[in-house]
């Protein structure tokens, strides 16, 4: 049953309380939720109202949730409040780990659970807006979303095939089914009395427009949370990102903040202010900085890259320290281009950003091979060069943009530590000292599920490196080759014994550059791009 929209009076968009708004959500509806980690574009007031209503009335029931980007705080925020048995029966997410209570339901087989690559998912919403059945893409071939593997299914109760293998002109592709949502929770900063909305205080746009179009064109209800309203036709047309005819309900939250906690808006993050070059931003010399420094060595002048969340996210600050940050462009899949990459749960809340695209367009660029290099964090690596991030230690994390980014980037740099679980290191006298070894080996013989396929990367001619605090590997046809080790570590005791397989030892094995281990600027000069 399609939801019934509240009427407009004299063209004015209905303005309701969040509690009134969620009363328009029927049982069995498909709800698409905008937002990214740390509170970015999260319609928190609407999410809270829906969660509270279900606690009190046990309605609406059996919702399906679509969440393209991981929103939340890796604890109780984001869509975690919706993790109530009976409220949600089905979920399709690009990323799961930011809202772990939803992941818990999937791990316990209490909901049907799917994972599309984040970019693919937002593109299927665009397809739903155009009344197309789905999209065809080679993104995901050879990974767990490939129907010859898990088909994007995350647990035992998930049975229906949403992804199919197809072939055109003797080339394999994946067909991803588009799911048309009935309800949207989106957010903006300001809207006028007819619903035209601007994002001046927000960090980015994500796929707000795509979601609103998908819901509107399929007869659903678009609910938009804003911080304030203004008179009709007083917003600059070039600032409007959501046209009013797409919006069915507005909920005003005057206490809406740009991110979780803190000031209502940080003008550096919104792009209104910039940090000048004299502002010192640096990382302490530790294993995270060591990995970021070594990763920077893979960058070239004029390159366009992507940086992912995790240990890789320090590369921008390291480049700033070395005075070469303006010699290349780092992007984030959620839309930001250039600037200083943020760290932590509000990843993508950058400073000094040069431009911001909508997320769907950013992924179009990635899928088409636009990236020269990407920097992604890994959870596990196997002897074939496969990487796993979407499940780790039994926990569902989801892929995020990992599959989209790593599928076509010309050079792929995976960053992480060799072991995990209480690993402690020190860098002294130009050497790396393992103070306390990690409990968990991250380089294992075989991955149970694959998020990045080494085989497919080699077939596509991609250059793949794995950078850790004590060793650097490259991927070749016969597997991983160890090409560098850190000064101060023992090859056998500290590297080979901490792996479940033996890599090929390069005959040209060398020490990692000594500049990486000094607590001062390295004097690094970015190499020219090869032509």
Euclidean distance between CA atoms 353 and 337, whole angstroms:
6
* Residue located via tokens 């939803």: 102
Specify the pTM.
0.97
How do the domains of the chain map onto residue ranges? 18-130+182-249, 287-517
Q: Give the pLDDT score at 113.
A: 99
Catalytically active residues, by annotation = 333
Q: What is the pLDDT of residue 282?
A: 81
Tokens of residue 224, six digits? 């938009």
Residues 431-440: what's their mean pLDDT?
97
The answer to whether 18-130+182-249 and 287-517 have equal CATH topology is yes
Collapse the DSSP code of 433 into the 3-class scheme (helix H, G, I; strand E, B; otherwise coil) and give the result. strand
Give whole-number Cα distances, 167 to 173, 179, 439, in Å. Answer: 6, 22, 44
Q: What does CATH list as the number for 287-517?
A: 3.40.1080.10
β-bridge partners, 436: 424
Q: Which two tokens stand for residue 32?
A: 């698409």
Nearest one of 23, 47, 17, 24 to 34, comparing CA atoms: 47
As a whole-number percent, the residues of the chain with pLDDT over 70 amount to: 100
pLDDT tens string 112-145: 999 999 999 999 999 999 999 999 999 999 999 9
pLDDT category at 309 given cuts 50, 70, 90 is: confident
| pLDDT for position 278 | 65
Is the bond leading into 60 cis (omega within 30 degrees of zero)?
yes
Sign for the CA dihedral angle at 343, 346, 347, 353 comes to negative
pLDDT band per the 50, 70, 90 thresholds, residue 393? confident
Considering the chain, what is the average pLDDT of its residues? 96
Which residues sit opposite 197 in a β-bridge?
191, 242
| Fold (CATH) for 18-130+182-249 | Glutaconate Coenzyme A-transferase (3.40.1080)
Q: What is the pLDDT at residue 315?
A: 92
pLDDT band at 262 (very low <50, low <70, confident <90, very high): confident
Cα angle for residues 201, 204, 205 (degrees, 5° grid) = 105
Mean pLDDT, rounded, for 488-508 = 98
């Amino acid at each position: 049953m399609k939801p019934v929209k509240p009427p407009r009076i004299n063209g004015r968009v209905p303005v309701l309380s969040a509690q009134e708004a969620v009363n328009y959500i029927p049982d069995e509806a498909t709800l698409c939720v905008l937002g990214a980690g740390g509170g970015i574009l999260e319609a928190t007031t609407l999410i809270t109202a829906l969660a509270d209503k279900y606690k009190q009335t046990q309605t609406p029931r059996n919702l399906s949730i679509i969440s393209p980007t991981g929103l939340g705080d890796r604890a109780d925020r984001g869509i975690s409040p919706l993790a109530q048995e009976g409220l949600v029966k089905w979920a399709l997410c690009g990323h799961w780990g930011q809202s772990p209570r939803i992941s818990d339901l999937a791990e316990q087989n209490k909901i049907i659970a799917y994972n599309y690559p984040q970019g693919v998912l937002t593109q299927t919403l665009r397809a739903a807006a155009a009344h197309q059945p789905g999209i065809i893409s080679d993104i995901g071939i050879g990974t767990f979303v490939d129907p010859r593997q898990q088909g994007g299914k995350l647990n035992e109760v998930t049975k229906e095939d949403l992804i199919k293998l197809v072939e055109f002109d003797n080339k394999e592709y994946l067909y991803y089914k588009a799911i048309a949502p009935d309800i949207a929770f989106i957010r903006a900063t300001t809207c006028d009395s007819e619903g035209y909305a601007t994002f001046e205080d927000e960090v980015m746009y994500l796929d707000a427009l795509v979601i609103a179009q998908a819901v509107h064109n399929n007869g659903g209800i678009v609910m938009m949370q804003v911080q304030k309203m203004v008179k009709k036709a007083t917003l600059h047309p070039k600032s409007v990102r959501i046209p009013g005819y797409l919006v069915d309900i507005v909920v005003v939250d005057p206490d809406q903040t740009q991110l979780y906690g803190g000031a209502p808006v940080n003008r550096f993050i919104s792009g209104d202010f910039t940090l000048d070059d004299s502002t010192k931003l640096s990382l302490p010399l530790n294993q995270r900085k060591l990995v970021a420094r070594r990763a920077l060595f893979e960058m070239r002048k004029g390159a366009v890259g992507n940086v992912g969340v995790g240990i890789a996210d320090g590369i921008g600050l390291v480049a700033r320290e070395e005075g070469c940050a303006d010699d290349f462009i780092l992007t984030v899949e959620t839309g930001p281009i250039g600037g200083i990459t943020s760290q932590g749960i509000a990843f993508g809340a950058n400073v000094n950003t040069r431009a911001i695209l909508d997320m769907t367009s950013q992924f179009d660029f990635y899928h088409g091979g636009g990236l020269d290099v990407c920097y992604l964090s890994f959870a596990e690596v196997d002897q074939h060069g496969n990487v796993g991030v979407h499940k780790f230690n039994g926990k569902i994390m989801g892929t995020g943009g990992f599959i989209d980014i790593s599928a076509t980037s010309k050079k792929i740099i995976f960053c992480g530590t060799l072991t995990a679980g209480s690993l402690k290191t020190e860098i002294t006298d130009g050497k790396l000292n393992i103070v306390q070894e990690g409990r968990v080996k991250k380089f294992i013989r075989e991955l149970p599920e694959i998020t990045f396929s080494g085989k497919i990367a080699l077939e596509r001619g991609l250059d793949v490196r794995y950078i850790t605090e004590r060793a650097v590997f490259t991927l070749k046809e016969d597997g991983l080759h160890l090409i560098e080790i850190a000064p101060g570590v023992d090859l056998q005791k500290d590297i080979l014994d901490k792996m479940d397989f033996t890599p090929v030892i390069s005959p040209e094995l060398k020490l990692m550059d000594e500049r990486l281990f000094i607590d001062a600027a390295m004097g690094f000069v970015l190499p020219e791009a090869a032509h």
